[in-house]
A = this chain, B = another copy of it.
Amino acid sequence: MKVQHVAEATWWLELESPDIARRAEWGQFVMIGFGVDHLDPPFLPRPFSVGWRSEEGRVGLLVRVFGAGSRRLASLRVGDRALLLGPLGRPFHLAPGKPVICVAGGVGLAPFLFLAGEARRDGYDVRLLYGEGSADRVFDPALIERLTGEAPVVWTEDGSLGHPGRVTDGVDGAGDQAVLVGDPTVLACGPAAMLRALAGRSAREGFRLQVSVEEHMGCGVGTCQGCVVPGADSRWRKACTEGPVFDASELAWSS
């Protein structure tokens, strides 16, 4: 167990879990909790993307504090024990040989730390666009470079670091060279509004888009039916087993 404060309200956790480390695929998540003896939040385990794994069996999670549950996770100390269930859910699917554009909003960065590093090693051309509100929230670009082999293109809404504006602007190539070239696969993880904006563009412009969505989860394995998101066919989809990664066209995007 290693815990490191990496940005405003954001912690990097490394946990021992050889089984999850070995089996995890890009975009999958774990449920992390503290077992049945623990009543304080998180009483229900919380979903977090696999943000990294090591050969030695460690799993990295990028945890941003939203409420009491994530606050407790962020206050874990070396020697504490947590309960991990995973790896869970459907991963991202890359189109063989095609370039990959990862669009990360906030802690939506987590799955791409994992994916970008390994996919590059597998020979993919991966570009990582990473947006935050402001510089103090940004996960150190040098650290990202160390984890993924390349520094990300950073956007901040207040312009305090990298390009000013929203990370979705980056998809246009604003402030940078064009990115939507070579029949890329776009992968996105971040706030619902960001995913919706990208889904709209993908529908209009026809690029392949996979999104990783968030919803409250109970079981993480498909039994509780708690985690549904609306499908394009007006059927619900379970974020835990049918997602969290969906083809954007599979989901209903009406606000």
The verdict on A38 contacting chain B, using a C-beta distance below 8 Å, is: yes
Interface residues on A, range: under 10
The verdict on A181 contacting chain B, using a C-beta distance below 8 Å, is: no
Q: With a CB–CB cut-off of 8 A, which chain B residues contact A39?
A: 39-40
Q: With a CB–CB cut-off of 8 A, which chain B residues contact A38?
A: 40
A40 to B38, CA, bound (A): 6
Q: With a CB–CB cut-off of 8 A, which chain B residues contact A40?
A: 37-40
Q: Which of A33-51 contact B (CB under 8 A)?
A: 37-40
Contact indicator per residue, chain A 21-40, by CB within 8 Å of chain B (1) or not (0)? 00000000000000001111
Of chain B, the residue at the smallest CB distance from A37 is: B40
Least CB distance from A67 to B in Å reads 12
Least CB distance from A83 to B in Å reads 15
A181 to B37, CA, bound (A): 52
A44 to B39, CA, bound (A): 14
Least CB distance from A3 to B in Å reads 15
Of chain B, the residue at the smallest CB distance from A40 is: B39
Q: With a CB–CB cut-off of 8 A, which chain B residues contact A37?
A: 40
A37 to B68, CA, bound (A): 10
A40 to B72, CA, bound (A): 14
A40 to B40, CA, bound (A): 6
A39 to B40, CA, bound (A): 6
Least CB distance from A44 to B in Å reads 13
Name, among A37, A38, A40, the residue most crowded by chain B CB atoms within 10 Å (CB to CB).
A40
Of chain B, the residue at the smallest CB distance from A41 is: B39
Q: Which of A143-197 contact B (CB under 8 A)?
A: none
A76 to B39, CA, bound (A): 18
Least CB distance from A17 to B in Å reads 24
A39 to B37, CA, bound (A): 11
A37 to B67, CA, bound (A): 13
Sample (5) of A-B pairs whose CB atoms are under 8 Å apart = A37-B40, A38-B40, A39-B39, A39-B40, A40-B40
Q: Give me the 5 closest cross-chain CB pairs, A-B, nearest first.
A: A39-B39, A39-B40, A40-B40, A38-B40, A37-B40
